Structure 1
Amino acid sequence: MAKLPKADWTQREDLARLVTALGTDNMRWVGGAVRDTLLGVPVRDVDAATTLRPEDVMKHLKDKGIKPIPTGLDHGTITALLPEGNVEVTTLRKDVATDGRRATVAFAEQWEDDAARRDFTINALYAHPETLEISDYFGGLADLDARRVRFIGDAHDRIREDHLRILRYYRFQARFGAELDETAEAACEELASTLKGLSRERVAMELLAILALPDPYATVARMQAKGVLPVVLPEAGDAGLGRFADLLEHERQQGAAPSSIRRLAALLPPDRKTAEQVAARLRLSNAQRKHLARLAQRSNFLEGPRALAYREGMELARDLLLLSGLPLEQVEDWQPPVFPLKGGEIVARGVAAGPEVARLLQTVETRWIAEGFPDAERVAQLLDETLSR
């Protein structure tokens, strides 16, 4: 039987306490931690499945001094608060009814029943906490070896149970896939329209996760070709895909880290109203909405890159330069300076406190920026020249 390689997380002392609390026969590590360890990629979160009912999980954890949080009690999920990272412990489940947006579940007793309700074979691998032996009910190990993302059972049925699985398929395909599963692709294409019934927050979460991946172009292009992207982002179109490709290439050339909002801006036409409508529809945060709307105004930085960074922040300046295909060299490793003039200095020169002081500050600051942020001595000269006028 295949075994999970020993990794740093499998040797955590706090996880050993969790295993002791729940019992080795009552729990298994499951999902991303198992998959990512087998692939040799960093593990971010550790999840456990258990045969224990939620109320019993709560009791066992408390008895061993581990604080439980009933984060998803109705669905059987208890979060164990641990020093080196919290763990979600979920009672085995099976679907009773689904409508594509939410599922009604019942607790199960068999590991295979729990595995059967998961989305992809590579996410339905269970590892014994003591022996690290892997239970694989649907060929997930073979799919990992082939770098193939495959739905468990019938792809159409899995998508009808939860329409968001279409976007999850493309995200996992972009992260782990090499060999395309034609059945999965066909099901996603056929059922793409079902994404319309999902909450915009769920769609945005998956879409932004896809865009944040290191190189999502091939995946996004397939989403466009299969009619998936037109459902969730009809504003993109083929032109947006072209802008997206240009941005990714420029990011590679400049060594820029991925940014989902910057990449979303590339997919959209450079129009503020459109950006604001998309941000509202996807229920983006206020900060994300403001950033996306500003990125739609590509050409509005005539003062130069450093002036832009000074006025609106380094992140916005970098994103606008990347979207415009311009080099980052002028703002890389540059710290915007502090304007070396205060209103009190102007008042000391005989100007009455009030709007005139603010106007003079703005006038001098504008000239200071235009001259490339000279030192305080030059700023004093600029003030003299402004006052003399």
Structure 2
Amino acid sequence: MILPAAAWRDRDGLEALTKVLGAVEGKSRFVGGAVRDTLLGIDVADVDIATRLPPQEVIERLQDARIKAVPTGLAHGTITAVTPAGPVEVTTLRRDVSTDGRHAIIAYTDDWREDAARRDFTMNALYADPATGEIFDYFGGLDDLAARRVRFIGDPLQRIAEDHLRILRFFRFHARFGTTIDEAGLDACTARANDLMALSRERVASEVLKLLVAANAVPVVALMVERGIFRAVLPEIDAAGAERLALLSDRETAAGIAPDPIRRLAMTIAPAAAEAVGARLKLSNTDRKRLIAATAGPGTEGPQALAYRAGMTVAIDRLLIAGEDVSAIKDWTPPAFPFSGGALVERGLRRGPEVAAMLRQVETRWIAEGFPDAARVAVIADEMVAAAVL
């Protein structure tokens, strides 16, 4: 099979890079997601190259060709080549020497099949010749891709033992690409679900958040709950949470709002658990606050007032989770408040706390009147200052 033509293959600097890396002599090939996604007709984001060249030779070749080389993962044989169109990761062929479920000790090899054998799923172990487009498939990845089946390379239990994160990746990739689930993989993930406890929470969070916005996240999350996959690391995601996720997904679709991982996580857990879950997953402070705020309800002032006070992102979260209409703010931009404390001082108020308090009152009335223009705000301020002086 030949890799179909795709826009990413014409990216500025990519052909020159592959020539520098000896693609014409069979020393380097495209690998992984770029090959898989092209075959599926999906837009390609990142391009990865596998090479027989040792890392130091990769660096030397890039430097000789005046291509910037960044040793982003030198311990694992990965060099990032910076092309005019963006970075491309170049990784020397590898085999695993030992693994502990979290990290691997590797050795370099020049055997393409040996490199493919250490990858997680057959659909991710497809290589393509940059010059001819010829595809190399060592473990039936093309058949699995055609069947939309995510399948481990070799024994699923062994592959999970090598890297426990593959449990979550199995479900994430199934949610993104799969229609037919591989029963052997499913049973292995179920049997080894407790292995997830050995992973860093950052790695767990990264996979779960990606999973929650995948095309088929709703049925896959329900399946994971049924199989007890979350129990070891996120017991807060239960059957009721999976049902709430389905509701949110329907609301997002009806409103024309793109899925969002933090919003969906907030919907799948109980509101009281948001603070603990955010801390456990080591989310950023911004995401933790958003996770907590998402279930606070629609407020009492209306959607636009909510968007003005809480911000557009949080307002959409709160409205969708509460089952409220978001059409009033979907394409709306909150205005800036056209008034200041200095304007109140000019009207006779003494600088200090009373100016701040009055400014908040003027702003509240401005919001209640539907965000009128500056002229109307000036009238509101005159009325309120006069009333306060009396």
- TM-score (normalised: structure 2): 0.96
Deviation per residue, 1:153-204 (Å, 9 max, x gap): 0000000100000110011111111111100000010000100110000000
- After TM superposition, give the deviation of residue 252 of structure 1 in Å: 1.1
Maintained 8 Å contact 2:29/2:51: yes
Structure 1 residues 44 and 18: alpha-carbon distance in aligned structure 2, compared to 1, 3 A threshold: same
Maintained 8 Å contact 2:226/2:239: no
**Residue 219 of structure 2: aligned partner:** 218
Maintained 8 Å contact 2:295/2:322: no
Q: Report which stretch shifted further, 328-337 or 216-225.
A: 328-337
Distance, in Å, in 1 between the alignment partners of 2:31 and 2:219 is 29
Equivalent residues, number: 385
Distance, in Å, in 2 between the alignment partners of 1:7 and 1:337 is 42
- After TM superposition, give the deviation of residue 234 of structure 1 in Å: 0.8
Structure 1 residues 183 and 294: alpha-carbon distance in aligned structure 2, compared to 1, 3 A threshold: same
Q: CA RMSD in A?
A: 1.3
1:330 to 328, 337, 342: 328
1:313 to 311, 314, 325: 311
Unaligned runs of 5+ in 1: none
Structure 1 residues 328 and 13: alpha-carbon distance in aligned structure 2, compared to 1, 3 A threshold: closer
- After TM superposition, give the deviation of residue 256 of structure 1 in Å: 0.8
1:351 to 331, 349, 352: 349
**Residue 68 of structure 1: aligned partner:** 69
Maintained 8 Å contact 1:318/1:328: yes
- After TM superposition, give the deviation of residue 13 of structure 1 in Å: 4.5
Distance, in Å, in 2 between the alignment partners of 1:186 and 1:232 is 18
- After TM superposition, give the deviation of residue 360 of structure 1 in Å: 0.8
**Residue 158 of structure 2: aligned partner:** 157
**3-state DSSP of counterpart to 2:69:** strand
**3-state DSSP of counterpart to 1:3:** coil
Distance, in Å, in 2 between the alignment partners of 1:209 and 1:369 is 37
Matches for 1:124-273 after TM superposition, within 5 Å: 124-271=125-272
- After TM superposition, give the deviation of residue 366 of structure 1 in Å: 1.4
Instruction: Give the letter aligned to residue 13 of structure 2.
Output: D
**Residue 374 of structure 2: aligned partner:** 376
Q: Report which stretch shifted further, 228-237 or 64-73.
A: 228-237
- After TM superposition, give the deviation of residue 290 of structure 1 in Å: 1.2
Distance, in Å, in 2 between the alignment partners of 1:41 and 1:376 is 49
Percent identity between the two aligned chains: 55
Instruction: Give the letter aligned to residue 86 of structure 2.
Output: G
Instruction: Give the letter aligned to residue 66 of structure 1.
Output: I
**3-state DSSP of counterpart to 2:317:** helix
Matches for 1:44-123 after TM superposition, within 5 Å: 44-123=45-124
**Residue 289 of structure 1: aligned partner:** 288
**3-state DSSP of counterpart to 1:179:** coil
Deviation per residue, 1:2-30 (Å, 9 max, x gap): 11112222233511111221112211110
**3-state DSSP of counterpart to 1:86:** strand
**3-state DSSP of counterpart to 1:247:** helix
Maintained 8 Å contact 1:220/1:229: no
Q: Report which stretch shifted further, 357-366 or 332-341.
A: 332-341
Maintained 8 Å contact 2:93/2:111: yes
Distance, in Å, in 2 between the alignment partners of 1:131 and 1:330 is 53
**3-state DSSP of counterpart to 1:380:** helix
Distance, in Å, in 1 between the alignment partners of 2:323 and 2:70 is 48
Maintained 8 Å contact 2:271/2:292: no
- After TM superposition, give the deviation of residue 381 of structure 1 in Å: 3.2
Maintained 8 Å contact 2:295/2:321: no
Structure 1 residues 330 and 9: alpha-carbon distance in aligned structure 2, compared to 1, 3 A threshold: closer
- After TM superposition, give the deviation of residue 41 of structure 1 in Å: 0.8
Distance, in Å, in 2 between the alignment partners of 1:89 and 1:276 is 40
**3-state DSSP of counterpart to 2:221:** helix
Distance, in Å, in 2 between the alignment partners of 1:13 and 1:298 is 48
- After TM superposition, give the deviation of residue 332 of structure 1 in Å: 2.3
**Residue 41 of structure 1: aligned partner:** 42
Distance, in Å, in 1 between the alignment partners of 2:281 and 2:72 is 25
Instruction: Give the letter aligned to residue 138 of structure 1.
Output: F
Maintained 8 Å contact 1:149/1:173: yes
Instruction: Give the letter aligned to residue 177 of structure 2.
Output: F
Unaligned runs of 5+ in 2: none
- TM-score (normalised: structure 1): 0.96
Distance, in Å, in 1 between the alignment partners of 2:8 and 2:255 is 34
Deviation per residue, 1:241-279 (Å, 9 max, x gap): 1211111111111111010000000001122xx211101
**3-state DSSP of counterpart to 1:104:** strand
Structure 1 residues 133 and 369: alpha-carbon distance in aligned structure 2, compared to 1, 3 A threshold: same
Deviation per residue, 1:10-55 (Å, 9 max, x gap): 2335111112211122111100011111111111111011111100
Distance, in Å, in 1 between the alignment partners of 2:257 and 2:51 is 42
- After TM superposition, give the deviation of residue 338 of structure 1 in Å: 2.1
**3-state DSSP of counterpart to 2:231:** helix
Structure 1 residues 288 and 59: alpha-carbon distance in aligned structure 2, compared to 1, 3 A threshold: same
- After TM superposition, give the deviation of residue 284 of structure 1 in Å: 0.5
Instruction: Give the letter aligned to residue 146 of structure 1.
Output: A
Instruction: Give the letter aligned to residue 77 of structure 1.
Output: T
